[in-house]
């Protein structure tokens, strides 16, 4: 249906929000947990997102800002990251220590989130269990998943070697 009636006023006040289909966030950039328009946030598991937002609100009171460097990723985006890692490390085996294939990545199912900067990771490693959030891998201090119940105890971060 075509309508001649166009809404008055500015179309959007969030023009700076990048809308991507595959959930990619440019390297060295981060987005807010409130950035609902970004697929990386919009496609996250609701339980994980709710827990992260609670943690972020409390972190803020402590003067720490939790920023998202990666959230949900499409399978294509995950595969691209793996391909880039293989190129970087010149070894499929070494690359897989850092980047899971799409079928193994919790990012593709929306059940993992990467947080930065370093002081935010430190805060979340220390307090995350209060929200059920745990560091999943020993070699990735930025990668968090819901791995316990709020107030429970996190499992030992897994080694990928």
The residues that touch Zn ion, with contacts defined as CB under 5 A, are 114, 143
Do the beta carbons of residue 64 and residue 123 sit within 8 Å? yes
Parallel/antiparallel/unpaired status of strands 113-116 and 67-70: antiparallel
Q: Which is nearer to Zn ion, 62 or 138 (CB)?
A: 138
The candidate with the shortest Cα–Cα distance to 145, out of 33, 56, 45, 66, is: 45
Closer of 114 and 121 to Zn ion (Cβ): 114
* Closest to Zn ion by CB, 64 or 136: 136
Instruction: Please give the residue whose beta carbon sits closest to Zn ion in the complex.
Output: 143
Residue 96: CB atoms within 10 Å: 16
Q: How far is the CB of 3 from Zn ion (least distance, A)?
A: 44
Half-sphere exposure of 159 (CA within 13 A, CB side): 1
- Nearest distance in Å: CB 112, Zn ion: 5
Query: Of 59 and 108, which CB lies nearer to Zn ion in the complex structure?
Result: 108
Shortest reach from residue 28's CB to Zn ion, in Å = 16
């Amino acid at each position: 249906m075509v309508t001649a009636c166009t809404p008055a006023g500015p179309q959007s006040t969030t023009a700076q929000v990048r809308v991507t289909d595959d959930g990619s966030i440019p390297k060295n950039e981060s987005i807010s947990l409130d950035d609902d328009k970004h697929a990386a946030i919009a496609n996250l598991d609701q339980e994980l997102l709710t827990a992260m937002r609670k943690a972020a609100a409390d972190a803020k009171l402590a003067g720490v800002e939790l920023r998202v460097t990666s959230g949900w990723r499409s399978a294509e985006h995950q595969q691209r990251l793996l391909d880039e890692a293989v190129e970087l490390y010149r070894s499929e085996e070494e690359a897989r220590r850092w980047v899971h294939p799409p079928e193994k990545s919790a990012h593709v199912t929306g059940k993992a989130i990467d947080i930065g900067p370093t002081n935010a990771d430190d805060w979340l490693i220390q307090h995350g269990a209060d929200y059920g959030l745990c560091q999943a891998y020993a070699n990735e201090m930025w990668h968090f998943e819901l791995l316990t119940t709020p107030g429970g105890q996190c499992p030992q971060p897994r080694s990928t070697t």
